[in-house]
Amino acid sequence: MVTLNKAQRRAASPDGGITLVIAGAGTGKTRTIIEKINAIIRAGVARPDNILVLTFSRKAADEIRHRVMLSLGEHAGSIVSGTFHSFCLGLLRDYSGRFFKVSGYTRFPAVLDETAKEALIMEILRDSIDSFLGLPVGVVYSLMNDYKKLAPRTRKKLDSLGISDAIATCVTLYSEAKKSKNVIDYEDMIDCAITMIRQYPDLRGELAARFTYVLVDEFQDTSSDNFELLHLVIPVENPNLFVVGDDFQSIYGFRNSRIDYIVNFKKYFRGARIIKLNLNYRSRKEIVAISNSFIKKNRFRTNKTIRPHKGRGGSVTCHVARDFKHELNIVHSILEKEILANETVAILFRNNWQGRYINLSLRGYNEHLATGKLQLMTMHSSKGLEFDTVIVAGVTDDILPDADSDIEEERRLMYVAMTRARERLYIICHGKKDAELPLFGRELKLNPIP
C-alpha cells in the first residue's frame, strides 16, 4: 500500500462530486491520481470500464493505465485512458454514421499530422499569395494559425486591409482540401465530436451513463474546446469529476490553453471541492524557496506556497555571461564539475536554436558520457521531468521572457525550468552593457558570479 500524506489521502478518497486538486511541482500528482482510481474501484464507486481518464499526452495516459493494472490486475485494463484527441477520434469511429452526417465525410478519414497539415496549408497560401499584399507566406501562415489570439487592434488593421477576408478564404479552401483528400486534423477531432454530441442528445446520455467517473490530468492545459467537451461528457446531475493540475505550470497558452479554468474553478463548477498538494518531494529547500518567491510575482494565480520535504543541502547559482560564447564556457565548466559527481544533468533553454549551438559545443563531451545522463531540451519539453542538476541557459531579455509572449506565462515557463532540479540549479543570465541583469535575473535576486 502506497503511503500518502494527509492532503494526498483527502484527494485520493473515493468520494464523488467535483474536485480540483492543485498539485504543485514535485508534490506527487501522478501517484495521487493512481491511488484515486484504485480507491474508486476498490470501494465499488465505479467499475474500471466506467472510468474515463483524459490527459494531454499519450505517455501519461499509458502510464496511468499501466500503474493501475499493476495495483489491481488485468481487469483494470478496461479503464478508458487517453488524450482528449484520441478519445474524440474513438467517438467518431464508434459513431461513424452520425459523424458522417455532421461532418460531410462519406468514408472514415485518415489523420493529418502537424507536418502534413502545415504542408497542405502552405500549398494553399502559396496559391493565394497575391491576396496578402506582399506579406511572406510564413507570416501569413502564422496569422492564420493565431488569428483568434491576435490583439483587437491588429485584427482591425488586418480587416481594413482585406487580409482577414483572404485568411477566411484560405480557411475555407483548407477545409475543402481536407474533404477532397479524406483527412482530418487534430482540431477537427474535437470539433466534430462536440458537434456530434450536441446534435444527438441521446449520445450525450449514453456517454454520461457509460462514464460515471471522469478524471483529467494536467487540467491547467485545458482549452475552451477541451472544456466544452468535458461538460458534454459528464452528466448534468450529480457528476463525478476529478481534475488535477497546477496553474504555476500553465505554459501552453500558444496552444489555446486557458489558465482561467483552474484559477477560477469554482466559477465554472459551483460547490466544487479544492484540495492543494503543497509538499514538494523533489527539490531541496533552496530551490523550492527561490521558485516560490519568483512565481509569486505573477498576479493571476492561485494562492499557495510549496513546502520542501527534503530540507536544506541544495544550491542555486547565478552566472553572468558576456555573450553566447562566454555562456558556452560557463556551461562547460559546470558540466566538468557535475559530470565528475556522476549526476543526471539537463540543460534547458527557451528556443530550439539555442539547443543547436549548445549541442555543437558539447560534441567532445558526448564521447565519455553514458546514454541519457546529460540531456538538452527546451523548457516546454522538460515539463514533468526531473534531474539532479539543471542548467537554465540564455536568460536574457527578448529571449526569456519572449517579447511576443504573455509575461506571466513566460514567468511560469521559467518556474517550470527551475523546479526540474533536485539538488543544484544553475541560471545563466546575459548581462547588459551597463552590467544590469535581465528582468528575470533581477527578479530572482541572486548574487551573480561574473
372 vs 209, more confident: 209
CB burial string 110-138: b at 16+ within 10 A, e below: eebeeeebeebbeebbeebeebbeebeee
* pLDDT computed for residue 414 by the predictor: 98
Query: At a CB cut-off of 8 Å and minimum separation 6, what does 336 contact?
Result: none
Using pLDDT thresholds of 50, 70 and 90, give the confidence band for residue 409: very high
* pLDDT computed for residue 375 by the predictor: 94
* pLDDT computed for residue 132 by the predictor: 86
Region 307-319 average pLDDT: 95
* pLDDT computed for residue 365 by the predictor: 63
pLDDT (tens digit, 9 = 90+) per residue, 206-262? Answer: 999 999 999 999 999 999 999 999 999 999 889 999 999 999 999 999 888 999 999
Total-model pTM: 0.92
CA dihedral for 185, 189, 192, 194, sign (positive or negative): negative
Which of 65-79, 156-170, 257-271: highest mean pLDDT? 257-271
pLDDT (tens digit, 9 = 90+) per residue, 21-63? Answer: 999 999 999 999 999 999 999 999 999 999 999 999 999 999 9
Cell of 208: 454520461
Helices (H), 114-236: 114-127, 137-146, 152-161, 163-181, 186-199, 201-210, 224-233
> Is 60 exceeded by the pLDDT of residue 368?
no
* pLDDT computed for residue 75 by the predictor: 83
Region 182-190 average pLDDT: 95
